[in-house]
């Protein structure tokens, strides 16, 4: 945690929050809202140093909670990270090694998700926004096809998302209408909405934010707490101009049209986050609602990653290090910054910890609960954390305006400050990311014993059993 003066006073505050949270769990479990951006870079929020986009509502979330500077997505592309978020396990455990193609590919129904665990413990659950984990195809009547599991098969009582079906989705992407006509392809609770639905004419970002607010209002009237899984499409391509006032509000001299579109999209999302926070305030449930914001991978073309190397589709830190903010006023001290390592695998155990839900021992999670650290305690040690892994099929092109760094890598193994990149199990780069966060100095040849040890662990992990059904 960030060092502050008067250590004794801070320690007393931490003890207060820990004790308060313990009492709170016994009487009133928190609501949980996960806000997941899409292709948002490590530096794309103003509270993370963006020179371009103003994000006052997410900045407010950070000032009232904890900002995590060293948080990592489970992959450098979409679908694998989303599997990590929901299951607390490496995507490779389910044979998910790249983004799904909107035809074949889905998270196996046998996977245990955080929504299922919370639902079993009495939570109401809702998914809002992008899904990209399979099962969002419809027949000619607009009814969801059941040959692939969808949100309801993974624990969500309610959902509203977009149909993810080719050639429809691809055409809307090429035409740059996926956001502006997003309401025309909404799928809600296994049925495509019709033209008379009030959401039909909505911009997709508005549809997502508005439905999240609607779900908060609806579920807050229930006796049970709620879990809302809000997955934005922003700022993923296609870059489209956001509606006013966000388009005019992000105009600037000397920027490209795509950069202007990108900025307007991020500002639009931030405004909808503001509406979500405002609704929590209006309903007087903000104090006991855990809100967490992060991104599914690092920045694509127009995003900002400071001096980090790589970007989307690449396993250097520009592709996997992402912003993360968590606020729970009843339990997490405000205005803190953490330099501790965190991972999307940690979300399931952290949410379950906050909800007082015991994770079945047979589940063999790959993440750890960060809740004690968020509440003021020490983070998990390197020994507790153990070795961390990433795997991603080779994407030869970097989704940035620069070539992809070479040598190419398809795996990462990280132990403490050491990060080894490998190509199909063969080591290609080694970095000390504490002293070299931009991964400029490959020290592979200087540490043969460490490389051998990490390589052994990596190959053991690559050969572990996988569940694909």
Q: Does residue 422 share a domain with residue 293? A: no
Query: 294-313 pLDDT, tens per residue?
Result: 999 999 999 999 999 999 99
What mean pLDDT comes out for the span 347-372?
Answer: 96
Would 105 be classed as within a structural domain? yes
Non-local (6+) Cβ contacts of 390 within 8 A are: 74, 75, 76, 315, 320, 411, 412, 414
Q: Which helix (H) or strand (E) holds 188?
A: strand 186-188
pLDDT (0 to 100) of residue 28: 83
Task: Tell me the pTM.
Answer: 0.94
CB-facing half-sphere around the CA of 135: CA atoms within 13 A: 20
Non-local (6+) Cβ contacts of 33 within 8 A are: 212, 216, 227, 228, 230, 276, 289, 290, 291, 292
pLDDT (0 to 100) of residue 468: 84
Would 315 be classed as within a structural domain? yes
Contact 31, 288 (CB under 8 A): yes
Whether residue 358 is predicted with pLDDT greater than 90 in this model: the reply is: yes
Q: Does residue 36 share a domain with residue 107? A: yes
Whether residue 356 is predicted with pLDDT greater than 90 in this model: the reply is: yes
Q: How confident is the model at residue 22 (pLDDT cuts 50, 70, 90)?
A: very low
Give me the domain span that covers residue 445.
406-463
Distance of CA 329 to the CA centre of its chain: 21
Would 363 be classed as within a structural domain? yes
Q: What three-state secondary structure class fits 442?
A: coil
Q: Does residue 280 share a domain with residue 377? A: yes
Q: How confident is the model at residue 414 (pLDDT cuts 50, 70, 90)?
A: very high
Query: 80-119 pLDDT, tens per residue?
Result: 999 999 999 999 999 999 999 999 999 999 999 999 999 9
Non-local (6+) Cβ contacts of 310 within 8 A are: 76, 298, 316, 317, 318, 319, 398, 400, 404, 405, 439
End-to-end CA distance of the chain: 41
Q: Does residue 433 share a domain with residue 363? A: no
Return the CATH number at 447: 3.30.1120.10
Of the three residues 348, 383, 418, the one that is the final residue of a domain is 383
Of the three residues 329, 348, 383, the one that is the final residue of a domain is 383
pLDDT (0 to 100) of residue 3: 34
Would 17 be classed as within a structural domain? no
Q: How confident is the model at residue 77 (pLDDT cuts 50, 70, 90)?
A: very high
Q: Does residue 429 share a domain with residue 298? A: no
H helix intervals, 197-335: 204-219, 246-249, 257-282, 317-320
Would 217 be classed as within a structural domain? yes
Contact 268, 30 (CB under 8 A): no
Q: How confident is the model at residue 20 (pLDDT cuts 50, 70, 90)?
A: very low
Range name among 16-20, 185-189, 287-291, 378-382 with the lowest pLDDT average: 16-20
SS3 sequence of 390-411: EECCCCCCCCCCCCCCCCCCCE
**8-state DSSP, 138:** B
Q: Does residue 351 share a domain with residue 245? A: yes
Q: Does residue 375 share a domain with residue 432? A: no
Would 20 be classed as within a structural domain? no
Q: Tell me what percent of the residues of the chain surpass a pLDDT of 70.
A: 94
pLDDT (0 to 100) of residue 181: 98
Q: Does residue 114 share a domain with residue 61? A: yes
| Radius of gyration for the chain, computed over Cα atoms and rounded to the nearest angstrom | 21
Q: Does residue 39 share a domain with residue 165? A: yes
Whether residue 270 is predicted with pLDDT greater than 80 in this model: the reply is: yes
Q: Number of structural domains, the chain?
A: 2
pLDDT (0 to 100) of residue 187: 98
Q: How confident is the model at residue 12 (pLDDT cuts 50, 70, 90)?
A: very low
| Catalytic residue IDs | 78, 132
pLDDT (0 to 100) of residue 9: 39
Q: Does residue 424 share a domain with residue 331? A: no
- Picking from 151, 214, 207, the residue whose alpha carbon sits closest to that of residue 180 is 207
Whether residue 1 is predicted with pLDDT greater than 70 in this model: the reply is: no
Q: What three-state secondary structure class fits 34?
A: strand
**8-state DSSP, 38:** S
**8-state DSSP, 148:** S
Q: Tell me what percent of the residues of the chain surpass a pLDDT of 90.
A: 93
Would 192 be classed as within a structural domain? yes
Return the CATH number at 122: 3.40.720.10
Would 11 be classed as within a structural domain? no
Q: Does residue 377 share a domain with residue 412? A: no
Whether residue 6 is predicted with pLDDT greater than 70 in this model: the reply is: no
Q: Does residue 219 share a domain with residue 120? A: yes
What mean pLDDT comes out for the span 136-165?
Answer: 98
């Amino acid at each position: 945690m960030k060092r502050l003066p008067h250590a004794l006073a801070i320690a007393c505050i931490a003890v207060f929050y820990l004790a308060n949270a313990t009492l709170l769990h016994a009487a009133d479990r928190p609501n949980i809202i996960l806000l997941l951006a899409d292709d948002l870079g490590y530096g794309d929020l103003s509270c993370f140093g963006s020179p371009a986009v103003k994000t006052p509502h997410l900045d407010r979330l950070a000032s009232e909670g904890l900002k995590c500077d060293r948080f990592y997505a489970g992959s450098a592309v979409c679908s694998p990270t989303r599997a990590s978020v929901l299951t607390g396990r490496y995507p490779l455990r389910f044979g998910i090694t790249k983004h799904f193609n909107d035809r074949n590919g889905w998270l196996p129904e046998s996977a245990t998700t955080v929504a299922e665990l919370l639902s079993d413990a009495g939570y109401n659950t809702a998914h809002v926004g992008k899904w990209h984990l399979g099962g969002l195809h419809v027949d000619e009547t607009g009814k969801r096809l059941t040959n692939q599991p969808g949100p309801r098969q993974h624990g969500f009582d309610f959902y509203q998302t977009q149909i993810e079906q080719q050639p429809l989705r691809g055409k809307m992407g090429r035409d740059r209408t996926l956001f502006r006509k997003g309401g025309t392809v909404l799928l809600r609770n296994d049925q495509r909405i019709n033209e008379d639905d009030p959401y039909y004419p909505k911009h997709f970002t508005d549809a997502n934010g508005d439905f999240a607010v609607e779900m908060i209002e609806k579920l807050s009237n229930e006796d049970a707490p709620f879990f809302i899984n809000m997955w934005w499409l922003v700022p993923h391509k296609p870059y489209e101009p956001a509606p006013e006032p966000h388009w005019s509000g992000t105009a600037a001299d000397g920027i490209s049209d795509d950069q202007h579109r990108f900025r307007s999209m991020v500002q639009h999302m931030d405004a909808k986050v503001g509406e979500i926070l405002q609704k929590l305030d209006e309903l007087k449930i903000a104090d006991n609602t855990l809100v967490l914001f992060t991104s599914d991978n690092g920045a694509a073309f127009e995003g900002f990653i400071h001096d980090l190397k790589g970007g989307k589709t690449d396993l250097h830190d520009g592709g996997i290090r992402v912003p993360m903010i968590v606020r729970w006023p009843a339990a997490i001290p405000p205005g803190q910054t953490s330099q501790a390592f965190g991972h999307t695998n940690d979300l399931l155990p952290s949410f379950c910890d906050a909800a007082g839900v015991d994770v079945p021992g047979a589940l063999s999670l790959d993440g750890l609960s960060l809740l004690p650290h968020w509440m003021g305690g020490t983070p998990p040690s390197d020994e507790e954390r153990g070795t961390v892994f990433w795997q991603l099929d080779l994407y030869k092109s970097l989704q940035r305006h620069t070539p992809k760094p070479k040598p190419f890598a398809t795996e990462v193994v990280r132990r403490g400050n050491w990060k080894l990149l490998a190509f199909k199990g063969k080591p290609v780069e080694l970095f000390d990311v504490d002293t070299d966060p931009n991964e400029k100095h490959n020290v592979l040849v200087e540490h043969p014993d460490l490389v051998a040890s990490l390589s052994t662990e990596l190959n053991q992990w690559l050969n572990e059993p996988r569940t694909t059904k």
